[in-house]
Structure 1
């Protein structure tokens, strides 16, 4: 039984594209719809109730487009809204936190794991909770990095300013003798080369978003809802943003290496 319905991805902005990049690689037959709420990004500093409301607006928008699975490709939204949305929807819903914790525990040798994320994600303690449940003896160091998302959203993630901000922000973690660092925000992989450089090559970086796609793949098989192989020109890959379609397209083009990207500006207020 082949299922042509698309998989929906939602994020506070362009960060979830790092998850889509992995999905294009691991799930080449699937149709993809993506909503980035760029106009209201970042979600990190916002109150949890507001993040839940915005996440619902994006979810309802995609549910109207008949998606077969929802990927909350945003750590802040996963931390506060995943359980509620999962309980309410009739389709599988996947978040980015648990897959990231599993990969980190697999990677660590000295049981010293760092977590970087938005203020909202770090404040929620979701990563710590998941890690402590599975491995109580792990030493955890968390750090909120509120300046990272704006660098990515303004398309400055290659700049010297980005290098300076990342180096300054991560300083406290360099003393913690970590061997594994979870990139607990889907925007952060766009800064990966700089983060790796600052932390040093003995530290393994875990991309929670990329790890999530393995879970998506497993669920497609489990529920028997995977799509059949199709000619690449028949595949749907549509992007919707509440912000500037041009800026979104620019970042999506450089990050996903797709020849033709369809980006539409939408207003979610009415959803």
Structure 2
């Protein structure tokens, strides 16, 4: 099946998922769309998040994708079930894979979650974790400053460290041994988060687990690409290309072709 896998995110964070998909599924073609113009989604209303997500999905459906990966935790929390019911292609989010990975790692059943305000407000991770293991104790924390920082390309240095350190103060007194990076932007500042919390806390990014689950779903549905041709990926952003290009090259460690800016927004929400 030569059709592409569609990947959507509120901005550049989902590129970490796209990178892992390309690593684990080297024959598959990806079409990525990051809504950097309207990022972050975290502080927005559910109505806005649902509309913006559907606008991204409609854009990718026109390109006849064979599967959709929602590489945004906030969008996953508010739209996954609806998209799975309404689309006739497989749809996967990043929350369930991340929750399963965290439960495998924790030794004391105390798991922290950091994410956008929308993701934390949805309680999607807490529900996913306790559905698997009712004895898990969850410590959620919204970190609204992280996504804007990453979208500006501030991924290292004193300014980034200060923002992370101040944001994570509430976790210092917790007894978590595992922390879910509940936003796909956060792996881009993973080293700073690790430095602030210390090596005794295991950090979980859902990217690896999401890619693994995508592979299983493609195989189960007989959708794997068996072509020997090298896939030609496409990357779209709704915002400026400069930062998007910079972060793309930082993640992929190489220059990426086929980067384009597109307009997808429809009627303004009243």
Place the TM-score, normalised by the shorter chain, in its bin.
Answer: over 0.9
Indicate whether 1:24 and 2:22 are aligned.
yes
Q: How many positions carry a matched residue from both structures?
A: 267
Deviation at 1:133, TM superposition (A): 1.3
Which residue of 1 is the match for residue 239 of structure 2? 243
Aligned with residue 148 of structure 1, among 143, 146, 150: 146
Deviation at 1:229, TM superposition (A): 4.8
Which residue of 2 is the match for residue 267 of structure 1? 263
- Work out the CA distance in 1 between the residues paired with 2:135 and 2:224: 38
Residue deviations 1:129-184 (CA, integer Å, cap 9, x gap): 11111111111100000000011100011131111000111111121111100000
Deviation at 1:104, TM superposition (A): 0.6
Secondary structure of the corresponding residue to residue 168 of structure 2 = helix
Secondary structure of the corresponding residue to residue 248 of structure 1 = helix
Indicate whether 1:134 and 2:143 are aligned.
no
- Work out the CA distance in 2 between the residues paired with 1:56 and 1:46: 15
- Work out the CA distance in 2 between the residues paired with 1:182 and 1:260: 29
- Work out the CA distance in 1 between the residues paired with 2:103 and 2:161: 28
Deviation at 1:210, TM superposition (A): 2.6
Secondary structure of the corresponding residue to residue 43 of structure 2 = coil
CA RMSD of aligned residues (A): 1.1
Which residue of 2 is the match for residue 77 of structure 1? 75
- Work out the CA distance in 2 between the residues paired with 1:14 and 1:141: 26
The answer to whether the 8 A contact 1:151-1:157 is kept is yes
- Work out the CA distance in 2 between the residues paired with 1:262 and 1:158: 27
TM normalised by structure 2 equals 0.97
Deviation at 1:261, TM superposition (A): 2.3
Structure 2: gaps (5+ residues): none
- Work out the CA distance in 2 between the residues paired with 1:229 and 1:198: 45
The answer to whether the 8 A contact 1:6-1:33 is kept is yes
- Work out the CA distance in 2 between the residues paired with 1:22 and 1:229: 20
Which residue of 1 is the match for residue 168 of structure 2? 170
Secondary structure of the corresponding residue to residue 228 of structure 1 = coil
Deviation at 1:259, TM superposition (A): 3.2
Which residue of 1 is the match for residue 87 of structure 2? 89
1:33-72 alignment runs, 5 A limit = 33-72=31-70
